[in-house]
Amino acid sequence: MRRAFFVVAAAIWMIPAIAAAPAGAAEGPERTFEDFDARNFPRPTYIDNKWLPLKPGRQWISEGKTTEDGETQSHRIEFTVTDLTKEIDGVNTVVMWVVDIADGEAVEKELAFYAQDIYGNVWLMGEYPEEYEDGEFLEASPWISGLDGAKAGIKIKADAKPGDPAHFQGWGPMVDWTDFGKPEKLESKVCVKAGCYENVLVVAESSLGEEGAFQLKYYAPGVGVVKVGWRGSDATQEELELVKVSQLDAEALSAIRAEALAMEVRAYQVSGEVYAQTEPIEALFGDIAHDPRPAQKLASVGAAGPEVRKISDEEAEAIALKTVPGEVTGLKIERKFGAKRIVVEVVAADNSVETDVIIDMATGEVLGTED
């Protein structure tokens, strides 16, 4: 099993029960996925979690080695926060660009999608990884929350501390993604090539079916992962350390943005049942001319021009209260199936049930309700 620096690769096996951990090792999670609610993400692309702050343009480069089946390779991970967003399972996410390099050759490139909830927890909402050999594309194994039974997971909690229960980092049964992490201890000081860091949180990560195999992630406050190690019977004995963390200039970030957008075009072509069911990537600041959907799909949904909002928040609330009398507790705009709509949260007066009233933002038509 090979895991990337920030992004953990899929498990080889999947079993319905969690294997017992050996004495002294991190215990497995009590359940197989986290409780996810899209309504808990009012500012999802603003990620200031102290263990994993993700500012657009931030890049981490880590280097080291992996040893598998007695063979050791040099290893390098480049992890960049783009200035792009993508809606996943009703939540707008920040798009990460990850490049995995072994012995000087890129063996995997990936789009990963992160969001922060109202409590400050950073969620992993899905991944689209591509594998390469000798520069040639081999395959892609995406998992996207809300599609094919996949569910978002918590990458790191805002208040993560030693002794916390293990938490699932995502649930992707179609690609055997069952990874979890458990905060184990605090290191008073950890030194790597990029510098020395204090009060570093060590998280032991594993997956269902990997009894006694753990990858160790070292999270420095205000920085992110600065070191990776392993323990037990981990088949891929990965050792990495942060060598550089920087803020990219506009030109460097633009080049990475172009690579991410090009990968999404390919993702729509090769992952028709999963990735192609998502909405296109958008810019965090301003607009980009990007529609990766194949021409035949565009024809089926219609190549609409820019959407014009004609219903104000006040009008949407009034429409919602006519549909479900009660008290408005929230309002948001979301994109589904290529169109934008207003979702008004109402606590019904007759039964106190919280109901979402979904309204077309251009016409004011009530599209439906959801409890």
Domain 38-247 -> CATH class: mainly beta
Question: Across all residues in the chain, what is the average pLDDT?
Answer: 85
Higher pLDDT, 29 or 321: 321
Task: Report d(CA 15, CA 13) in Å as an integer.
Answer: 7
Cα distances (Å, whole numbers) of residue 371 to 14, 37, 352, 364? 33, 12, 11, 20
pLDDT of residue 292: 85
What percent of the chain stands above pLDDT 70?
Answer: 84
Mean pLDDT of 339-363: 85
In angstroms, what is the C-alpha Rg of the chain?
Answer: 21
User: Per residue in 48-76, pLDDT tens?
Assistant: 999 999 999 999 999 999 988 888 999 99
Q: Give Cα 229 distance to the centre of its chain.
A: 22
Considering the segment(s) 313-370 as one domain, its CATH architecture is: Roll (3.10)
**Residue 58, Cβ neighbours under 10 Å: how many?**
19
Residue 308 pLDDT > 60: no
Residue 340 pLDDT > 80: no
pLDDT of residue 178: 86
- Name the residue ranges covered by the structural domains of the chain: 38-247, 313-370
Mean pLDDT of 189-204: 98
Higher pLDDT, 201 or 340: 201
Higher pLDDT, 1 or 227: 227
User: Per residue in 121-162, pLDDT tens?
Assistant: 999 999 999 999 988 999 999 999 999 889 999 999 999 999
Question: Closest Cα partner for 222 from 49, 81, 95?
Answer: 49
pTM: 0.74
pLDDT of residue 58: 97
Both tokens of 207, joined, read 């997956």
Lowest-pLDDT choice from 31-45, 67-81, 181-195, 324-338: 324-338
Residue 316 pLDDT > 70: yes
Higher pLDDT, 21 or 67: 67
Residue 236 pLDDT > 90: no
User: Per residue in 238-296, pLDDT tens?
Assistant: 999 999 999 999 999 999 999 999 999 999 999 988 999 999 999 887 667 787 877 64
Mean pLDDT of 310-338: 82
Degrees (nearest 5) of the Cα angle 125, 144, 172?
95
Band (pLDDT 50/70/90 cuts) for residue 2 is: very low
Give a three-class secondary structure readout of the chain. CCCCCCCCCCCCCCCCCCCCCCCCCCCCCCCCCCCCCHHHCCCCCCECCCCCCECCCEEEEEEEEEEECCEEEEEEEEEEEEEEEEEECCEEEEEEEEEEEECCEEEEEEEEEEEECCCCCEEEEEEEEEEEECCEEEEECCEECCCCCCEEEEEECCCCCCCCCCEECEEEHHHCECEEEEEEEEEEEEEECCEEEEEEEEEEEEECCCCCEEEEEEEECCCEEEEEEEEECCCCEEEEEEEEEEECCHHHHHHHHHHHHHHHHHHHHHCCCCHHHCCCCEECCCCCCCCCCCHHHHHHHCCCCCCCCCCCHHHHHHHHHHHCCEEEEEEEEEEECCEEEEEEEEEECCCCCEEEEEEECCCCCEEEEEC
Higher pLDDT, 4 or 22: 4
Task: Report d(CA 123, CA 259) in Å as an integer.
Answer: 24
Band (pLDDT 50/70/90 cuts) for residue 26 is: low
Residue 336 pLDDT > 70: no
Task: Report d(CA 46, CA 271) in Å as an integer.
Answer: 29
pLDDT of residue 296: 47
Both tokens of 128, joined, read 């689209």
